[in-house]
């Protein structure tokens, strides 16, 4: 398909989670995702692999490398465009993106890196479009497990210009990440005027290319200044997520101007990050990869479009933690935030809740979940994996700026638990608030460390101008409740830990979102009898959840709190005889198969920091 100068489709407005912001590189380093530093568990049925397809482009063929993510897919896919040939390819970034669950296609422009044909900047733009067409070819999508609806361009230097231009002219591209993107026309003119080594550098680079010279490349950008200035792409880019990643190099001023122009044009989905490093990010490779993987995770739209529109509504669901008592480093303890406008309502506070809340505020641009803004919380039951973060929520929220007592609602025993926590930290509170303490300047809010704990029974337990919360009894090993949240535009139901109960079906009854636990049958069959019997009495299997959801009819079913032991974590006593290190790992594909074969509605396997 030819490049078209048309606006974006309305679909591209779906799940745009980023608001305009500038983030320092140091903050991104603190949020390094596991995909940047460690390999995910292997999928024997659909392992990660590579392919080397030849991509046709205007009578020639481009060599390429396609990094295919593990799992049955289809996978969101990055088209990664390299810089001026002969320099950085960013293949380490490609591996990190693949470990995060994405395919990555890296094409090599005509006339460069061994590809046939001749090189020019115009050919580079044509090659980018040819690569997009390759990804959207139905046979290629099926063969390489590509999700055609989720294509994102990532380009470095010259590739950054190509990514901006191609995204602006191809509405089927969902988003673009520009890594120290060179603004080819203005940058060439500036460097010729100020850099005495300009021609030496360009002659050296051009010597690696087929069919061109430095003089021809300069004449090409000089001949059409408007085309080779990516500021002119702003009207076509302003409705899509754009990451502008800057370094301390010749492109900084152009990158900053592009981000500013996008914001001025009304783009609330532009993210600007500056890192103090050189053009190839030589000493910030991990930080650069972390920033891009986090951004991709934040802006990725769901596969189905039916619930995507709701992300622009007043009410959002943020999964702060989807884990279990298992110390899985990629899943914090159970914690979910319901966001209505600028206000957050927290359900459960498992271990890691405060740090996950800060991560959501930073990487998802949701200030309502800043720890100091968490003022109202609910707990489904008092098991440790749902409450081990309680003291951090109380004290971390206070030291982060909460100005009022924390309001918490939950089963009988919550008041006693709260009193004991505050007593346990009595010395901490006293030393922070005494005349020498670091919180003495918070004296205007002397009650901010306090907690108003409310033991509840079934029925309406909380109401304000944003939300009405109804508790309903569930079936677990102790007193437990699920919650129904009714907001101005959505109804959300969360189960907590429970055996299937009719009350959940009644509470949902066609609700917008049902968040429910599910335990995989295939994994349970390998577990000791004591665990199987406990799950049978007090939890919900995938088969049972499929039956329950069929009756409850949620518009979206979100599955969380699933037992799974990543390789190396399962205690030896739990492993089946002769079982491998990953014998008790429940892959997303396992859950997809067990639910999808029994339930025809829309569902997702929830991950920490997902937003719906």
**pLDDT by residue (tens digit) across 196-225?**
888 888 888 888 899 999 899 989 989 888
What average pLDDT does this structure show over 52-63? 93
* Same structural domain, 282 and 368: no
How much is the pLDDT for 567? 80
Does the pTM exceed 0.75?
no
* Contact between residue 246 and residue 150 where contact means Cβ atoms under 8 Å apart: no
* Same structural domain, 289 and 317: no
CA 344 to chain centre: 19
Q: Give the residue from 266, 299, 332 where a domain finishes.
A: 299
CATH code of 420's domain = 3.60.15.10
CATH code of 116's domain = 3.40.50.1820
Q: Tokens 């979102």 belong to which residue? A: 513
What average pLDDT does this structure show over 39-64? 90
* Same structural domain, 250 and 333: no
3-state secondary structure of 107: strand
* Contact between residue 83 and residue 157 where contact means Cβ atoms under 8 Å apart: yes
Residue 6 within any structural domain of the chain = no
What average pLDDT does this structure show over 24-29? 38
Q: Tokens 């991560």 belong to which residue? A: 359
What average pLDDT does this structure show over 227-240? 90
* Same structural domain, 166 and 81: yes
* Contact between residue 180 and residue 246 where contact means Cβ atoms under 8 Å apart: yes
Lowest mean pLDDT, pick from 112-116, 235-239, 371-375, 575-579: 575-579
Q: What Cα–Cα distance (Å) separates residue 410 from each residue in 77, 200, 397, 495, 544? A: 43, 71, 19, 13, 26
What average pLDDT does this structure show over 540-552? 96
How much is the pLDDT for 339? 96
Residue 13 within any structural domain of the chain = no
- Going by pLDDT thresholds of 50, 70 and 90, the confidence category of residue 16 is very low
pLDDT, mean over the chain: 88
- Going by pLDDT thresholds of 50, 70 and 90, the confidence category of residue 2 is very low
Give the CA dihedral 452, 455, 459, 460, nearest 10 degrees. 0
How much is the pLDDT for 453? 97
Helix axes 390-399, 414-424, angle to 10 degrees: 60
What average pLDDT does this structure show over 87-94? 87
Helix axes 91-99, 285-299, angle to 10 degrees: 40
Dist CA 310 CA 72 (whole Å): 27
Maximal C-alpha separation, the chain = 79
Lowest mean pLDDT, pick from 144-158, 274-288, 307-321, 497-511: 307-321
Dist CA 233 CA 227 (whole Å): 9
Percent residues over pLDDT 90 in the chain: 63
Residue 351 within any structural domain of the chain = yes
- Is a pLDDT exceeding 90 seen at residue 187? no
β-pairing, 468-473 with 459-463?
A: antiparallel
Higher per-residue confidence, 306 vs 446 = 446
State the CB neighbour count (10 A cutoff) for residue 147.
18
* Contact between residue 54 and residue 64 where contact means Cβ atoms under 8 Å apart: yes
Q: Give the residue from 299, 323, 357 where a domain finishes.
A: 299
**What's the structural domain count of the chain?**
2
- Is a pLDDT exceeding 50 seen at residue 393? yes
Residue 246 within any structural domain of the chain = yes
Residue 131's H or E segment, with its range, is: helix 121-136
- Going by pLDDT thresholds of 50, 70 and 90, the confidence category of residue 583 is confident
3-state secondary structure of 319: strand
- Going by pLDDT thresholds of 50, 70 and 90, the confidence category of residue 86 is low
Q: Token pair for residue 238?
A: 């302003």
- Is a pLDDT exceeding 70 seen at residue 379? yes
- Going by pLDDT thresholds of 50, 70 and 90, the confidence category of residue 301 is low
Dist CA 495 CA 473 (whole Å): 10
Q: What is the pLDDT of residues 128-163, one digit of tens each?
A: 999 999 998 889 999 999 988 889 999 999 999 999
* Same structural domain, 198 and 288: yes
* Same structural domain, 86 and 187: yes
Q: What Cα–Cα distance (Å) separates residue 273 from each residue in 82, 243, 296, 361, 606? A: 20, 8, 14, 15, 27
- What are the residue ranges of helices labelled H in 400-526? 414-424, 426-433, 502-508, 521-524
* Contact between residue 457 and residue 411 where contact means Cβ atoms under 8 Å apart: no
* Same structural domain, 322 and 345: yes
Residue closest to 344 by CA, chosen among 557, 487, 510, 494: 487
Residue 191 within any structural domain of the chain = yes
How much is the pLDDT for 308? 36
Residue closest to 543 by CA, chosen among 593, 588, 492, 506: 593
Q: Which residues contact 586 (CB under 8 A, 6 or more apart)?
A: 520, 522, 523, 562, 563, 564
How much is the pLDDT for 441? 64
CA angle at 564 for the pair 560 and 569, rounded to the nearest 5°: 135
Dist CA 586 CA 565 (whole Å): 7
Higher per-residue confidence, 511 vs 240 = 511
Dist CA 308 CA 467 (whole Å): 22
3-state secondary structure of 336: strand
Q: Give the residue from 274, 299, 324 where a domain finishes.
A: 299
* Same structural domain, 235 and 159: yes
- Is a pLDDT exceeding 90 seen at residue 496? yes
- Class of residue 210 by CB neighbours under 10 A (exposed 0-12, middle 13-18, buried 19+): middle
Dist CA 246 CA 24 (whole Å): 10
Percent residues over pLDDT 70 in the chain: 91
Residue 355 within any structural domain of the chain = yes
Q: What is the pLDDT of residues 333-342, one digit of tens each?
A: 999 999 999 9
* Same structural domain, 174 and 274: yes
- Is a pLDDT exceeding 50 seen at residue 20? no
Residue 135 within any structural domain of the chain = yes
* Same structural domain, 399 and 274: no
* Same structural domain, 341 and 269: no
Higher per-residue confidence, 161 vs 433 = 161
* Same structural domain, 293 and 328: no
Highest mean pLDDT among 3-17, 164-178, 289-303, 532-546: 532-546
How much is the pLDDT for 443? 55
Please provide the DSSP assignment of 249-301 as one string.
Answer: STTHHHHHHHHHHHHHTT-TTEEEEE-SS-TT-TT-HHHHHHHHHHHHHHHPP
Residue 250 within any structural domain of the chain = yes
What average pLDDT does this structure show over 474-483? 97
Q: How many residues does the chain have?
A: 612
* Domain, as residue range, for 543: 308-567+580-605
């Amino acid at each position: 398909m030819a490049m078209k100068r048309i606006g974006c489709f309305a679909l591209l407005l779906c799940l745009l989670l980023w608001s305009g912001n500038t983030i320092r590189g140091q903050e991104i380093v603190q949020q390094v995702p596991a995909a940047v530093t460690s390999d995910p568990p292997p999928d024997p049925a659909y392992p990660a692999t590579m392919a080397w397809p030849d991509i046709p482009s205007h009578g020639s063929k481009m060599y390429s490398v396609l990094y295919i993510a593990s799992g049955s897919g289809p996978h969101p896919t990055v088209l990664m465009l390299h810089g001026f040939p002969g320099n950085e390819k960013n293949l380490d970034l490609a591996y990190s993106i693949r470990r995060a669950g994405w395919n990555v296609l890296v094409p090599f422009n005509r006339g460069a890196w061994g590809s046939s044909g001749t090189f020019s900047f115009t050919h580079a733009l044509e090659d980018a479009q040819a690569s997009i067409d390759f990804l959207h070819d139905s046979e290629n999508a099926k063969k390489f497990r590509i999700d055609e609806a989720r294509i994102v361009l990532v380009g470095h230097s010259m590739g950054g210009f190509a990514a901006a231009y191609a995204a602006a002219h191809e509405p089927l591209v969902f988003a673009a990440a520009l890594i120290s993107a060179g603004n080819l026309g203005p940058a060439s003119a500036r460097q010729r005027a100020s850099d005495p080594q300009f021609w030496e550098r360009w002659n050296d680079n051009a010597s690696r290319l087929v069919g061109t010279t430095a003089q021809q490349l300069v004449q090409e950008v000089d001949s059409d200044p408007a085309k080779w200035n990516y500021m002119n792409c702003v009207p076509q880019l302003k409705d899509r997520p754009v990451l502008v990643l800057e370094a301390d190099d010749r492109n900084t001023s152009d990158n900053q101007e592009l981000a500013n122009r996008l914001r001025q044009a009304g783009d609330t989905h532009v993210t600007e990050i500056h890192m103090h490093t050189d053009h190839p990010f030589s000493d910030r490779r991990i930080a650069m990869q972390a920033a891009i993987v986090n951004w991709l995770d934040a802006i990725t739209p769901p596969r189905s479009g039916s619930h995507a529109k709701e992300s622009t509504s007043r009410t959002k669901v943020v999964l702060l933690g989807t884990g279990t008592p298992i110390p899985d480093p990629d899943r914090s303890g159970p914690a979910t935030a319901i966001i209505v406008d600028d206000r957050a309502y927290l359900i459960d506070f498992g271990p890691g809740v405060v740090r996950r809340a800060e991560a959501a505020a930073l990487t998802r641009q949701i200030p309502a979940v800043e720890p100091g803004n968490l003022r109202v919380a609910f707990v489904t039951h008092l098991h440790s994996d749902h409450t081990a973060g309680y003291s951090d929520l109380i004290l971390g929220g206070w030291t982060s700026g909460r100005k009022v007592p924390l309001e918490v609602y939950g089963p009988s025993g919550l008041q006693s638990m709260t009193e004991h926590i505050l007593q346990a930290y009595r010395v901490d509170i006293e030393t922070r608030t005494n005349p020498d303490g670091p919180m003495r300047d918070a004296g205007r809010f002397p009650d901010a460390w306090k907690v108003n704990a409310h033991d509840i029974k079934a029925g309406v337990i909380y109401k304000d101008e944003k939300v009405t919360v109804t508790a309903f009894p569930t079936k677990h090993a102790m007193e437990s409740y699920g919650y129904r949240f009714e907001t101005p535009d959505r109804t959300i139901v969360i189960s907590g830990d429970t055996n299937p109960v009719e009350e959940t079906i009644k509470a949902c009854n066609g609700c917008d979102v049902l968040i429910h636990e599910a335990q995989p049958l295939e994994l349970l069959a390998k577990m000791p009898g004591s665990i199987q019997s406990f799950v049978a009495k007090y939890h919900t299997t995938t088969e049972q959840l499929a039956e329950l959801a069929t009756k409850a009819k949620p518009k979206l079913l979100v599955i969380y709190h699933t037992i799974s032991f990543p390789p190396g974590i399962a205690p030896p006593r739990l492993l089946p005889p002769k079982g491998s290190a990953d014998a008790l790992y429940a892959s997303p594909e396992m859950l997809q198969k067990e639910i999808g074969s029994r339930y025809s509605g829309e569902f997702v396997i929830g991950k920490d920091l997902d937003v719906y």
